[in-house]
């Protein structure tokens, strides 16, 4: 009854376990990024319209999400519900926090994108008889999109990596899975490399692509 009965080496089936966990990482990231971006666009638009009033209200709230460590946000939110007599599973809690965290980051980006269109250009658009919404749709949107896409991609990749923190709530995503395997197999180096390679394979091509896009857009 040596340690070998407790600690078994890394097996092929463990790859399946990791893949499943990777799927969860992708799922929670995709949810956070899509819903968070949607909300972030709305928040960013509200901020740009309401200006000072928005900054003093919504702006302050969103700023909290950017100024408190995500890990503490997660723990706070997760432990808040038992207090009001309501149990939330780690997945739901993690998703909600990540969504708001993402939306706060996206709002800042979107706000910058809207102000990227010089007011002279917008006035020109309105002078051609465009409505407010046409101006937004045909002038501000295409100009802002170019200004914003690289930073948005940065936010999205950041959220993908930050989703690893949901592991503290016990949700078995990729990083948590690797911890479990490390404890069992005692082969941390191999497992960390596999997990690192997964994140890298996802993040690196996208960051390269956006850097390239950013460069080509600068020249025309």
Partner 1 sequence: MTMEVAVLAMLLGVLLGLALAMVRMSGNRSVTWFAVGWIELARNTPALLQLFFFGFGLGAFGLHLSPFMIVLCGLSFNNAGYLAETFRGGFNAVPPTQLKAARSLGMTLGQSYIRIVIPQVLRVVYHPMTNQMVWSVLMSSLAMLVGYRELAGETQFLASKTYRIFEFFLVAAVIYYLMVKLILVGSRLLSWRLFRY
176, with CB counted inside 10 A (0-12, 13-18, 19+), is buried
Among 75, 116, 136, 149, binds partner 1 (CB under 8 A): 75
Q: How far apart are CA 174 and CA 202, in angstroms?
A: 13
- Compare residues 204 and 217 and give the one whose CB is closer to partner 1: 204
Among 80, 132, 138, 217, binds partner 1 (CB under 8 A): 80
The alpha-carbon radius of gyration of the chain (Å, integer) is 22
Give the CA diameter of the chain: 84
In angstroms, what is the minimal distance from the CB of 168 to partner 1? 7
Q: Which residues of 28-55 are buried (b: 16+ CB within 10 A; e: fewer)?
A: bbebbbebbbebbbebbbbbbeeeeebe
Among 126, 187, 194, 213, binds partner 1 (CB under 8 A): 187
Token pair belonging to 166: 């949901």
Instruction: Give yes or no for residue 219 binding partner 1 (CB under 8 A).
Output: no
Instruction: Give yes or no for residue 23 binding partner 1 (CB under 8 A).
Output: no
Instruction: Give yes or no for residue 88 binding partner 1 (CB under 8 A).
Output: no
Nearest C-alpha neighbor of 99 from the set 45, 48, 34: 34
CA dihedral over 73, 76, 80, 86, signed as positive or negative: positive
Token pair belonging to 41: 């666009």
Instruction: Give yes or no for residue 50 binding partner 1 (CB under 8 A).
Output: no
Q: Write the interaction track for partner 1 spanning residues 132-161; mark x where CB under 8 A is met and - where it is not.
A: -------------------------x---x
Determine the interface stretch with partner 1 among 27-35, 85-93, 140-148, 181-189 (rule: CB under 8 A).
181-189
In angstroms, what is the minimal distance from the CB of 83 to partner 1? 6
Contacting residues toward partner 1, per CB under 8 A: 64, 67-73, 75-76, 79-80, 83, 157, 161-162, 164-165, 167-168, 175, 178-179, 182, 187-189, 192, 195-196, 199-200, 203-204, 207
């Amino acid at each position: 009854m040596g340690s070998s009965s407790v600690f078994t080496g890394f097996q092929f089936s463990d790859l399946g376990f990791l893949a499943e966990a990777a799927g969860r990482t992708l799922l929670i990231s995709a949810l956070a990024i899509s819903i968070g971006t949607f909300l972030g666009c709305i928040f960013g638009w509200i901020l740009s319209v309401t200006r000072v009033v928005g900054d003093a209200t919504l702006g302050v709230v969103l700023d909290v999400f950017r100024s408190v460590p995500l890990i503490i946000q997660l723990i706070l939110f997760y432990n808040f519900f038992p207090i009001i007599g309501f149990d939330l599973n780690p997945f739901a809690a993690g998703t909600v926090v990540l969504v708001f965290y993402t939306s706060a980051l996206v709002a800042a980006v979107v706000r910058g994108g809207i102000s990227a269109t010089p007011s002279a250009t917008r006035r020109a658009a309105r002078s051609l008889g465009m409505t407010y919404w046409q101006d937004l749709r045909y002038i501000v949107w295409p100009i802002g999109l170019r200004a914003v896409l690289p930073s948005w991609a940065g936010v999205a990749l950041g959220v993908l990596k930050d989703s690893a923190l949901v592991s503290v709530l016990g949700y078995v995503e990729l990083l948590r899975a690797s911890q479990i395997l490390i404890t069992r197999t005692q082969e941390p180096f191999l497992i960390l490399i596999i997990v690192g390679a997964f994140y890298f394979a996802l993040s690196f091509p996208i960051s390269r692509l956006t850097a390239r896009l950013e460069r080509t857009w600068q020249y025309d």
